[in-house]
């Protein structure tokens, strides 16, 4: 059964400067049990919430199956860590997730390509290894909440405009 394993809503951008300098410290409470999502704006409390430059990528999803054991959202800086969903295959669809509080629909726009920071935070070679499995960047189409735990998933072809 698909699940949400972790959720991240971080008010700060931790990957500043050069990867060799290491990431900035994590703020307390960035890994949460539930996130509130607003249509067209993103995750309430996240660093990209409401920023025009990030509206088409304001929610990021990655599959736990893509990551080495013990690696989570704190290292890869995506928002939603799932298991049981092949998220990297969903570009061009609408992904609807329901973790018990009602459905949240996300338009899957493009791949979330990793950066050189992955070799520092995940381990040597991760940047290259995650190039095709680094997750997806989405636009939220509906308001709602997602929480850690079991998940109902619906995938539909995205409407063409």
Q: Is 161's pLDDT higher than 70?
A: no
In this structure, are residues 121 and 12 in contact, taking their beta carbons and an 8 Å threshold? Answer: no
- Please say whether the beta carbons of 41 and 124 come within 8 A: no
pLDDT tens-digit series, residues 48-78: 898 887 888 999 999 999 998 998 888 888 8
Contact call for residues 106 and 97 (beta carbons, < 8 A): yes
The model's pLDDT over 109-120, given as tens digits with 9 standing for 90+, comes to: 999 888 777 777
**145 vs 47 pLDDT, higher one:** 145
C-alpha to C-alpha distances, 106 to 21, 28, 55, 65, 118, nearest whole angstrom: 34, 27, 12, 20, 25
SS3 label, residue 119: helix
**Terminal Cα-to-Cα distance of the chain (whole angstroms):** 33
**Position 32 confidence tier, pLDDT thresholds 50, 70, 90:** very high
Beta-carbon-side half-sphere exposure of residue 160 (alpha carbons within 13 Å): 0
The pLDDT, as a whole number, for residue 53 is 78
**How many other C-beta atoms are found inside a 10 Å radius of the C-beta of residue 140?**
20
Residue 39 CB neighbour total at 10 angstroms: 13
Confidence of residue 15 (pLDDT cuts 50, 70, 90): low
Choose the weakest-confidence range: 39-43, 98-102, 120-124, 128-132.
120-124
Percent of the residues in the chain that have a pLDDT greater than 90, as a whole number: 56
Residue partners of 76: CB distance under 8 A and separation at least 6: 62, 67, 114, 118, 121, 122, 130, 134, 135
| Distance in angstroms (rounded) separating the CA atoms of residues 15 and 69 | 22
List residues bridging with 60 in a β-sheet. Answer: 137
Mean pLDDT of 33-38: 98
């Amino acid at each position: 059964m698909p699940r949400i394993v972790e959720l991240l809503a971080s008010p700060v951008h931790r990957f500043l400067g050069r990867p060799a300098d290491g990431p900035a410290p994590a703020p307390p409470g960035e890994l949460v049990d539930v996130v509130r999502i607003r249509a067209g704006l993103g995750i309430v409390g996240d660093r990209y919430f409401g920023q025009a430059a990030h509206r088409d990528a304001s929610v990021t999803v990655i599959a736990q199956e893509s990551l080495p054991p013990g690696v989570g959202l704190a290292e890869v800086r995506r928002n939603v860590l799932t298991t049981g969903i092949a998220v990297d295959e969903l570009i061009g669809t609408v992904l609807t997730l329901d973790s018990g509080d009602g459905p949240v629909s996300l338009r899957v726009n493009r791949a979330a390509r990793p950066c050189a920071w992955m070799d520092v935070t995940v381990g040597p070679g991760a940047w290259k290894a995650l190039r095709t499995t680094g997750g997806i960047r989405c636009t939220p189409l509906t308001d709602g909440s997602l929480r850690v735990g079991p998940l109902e998933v619906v995938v539909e072809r995205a409407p063409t405009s």
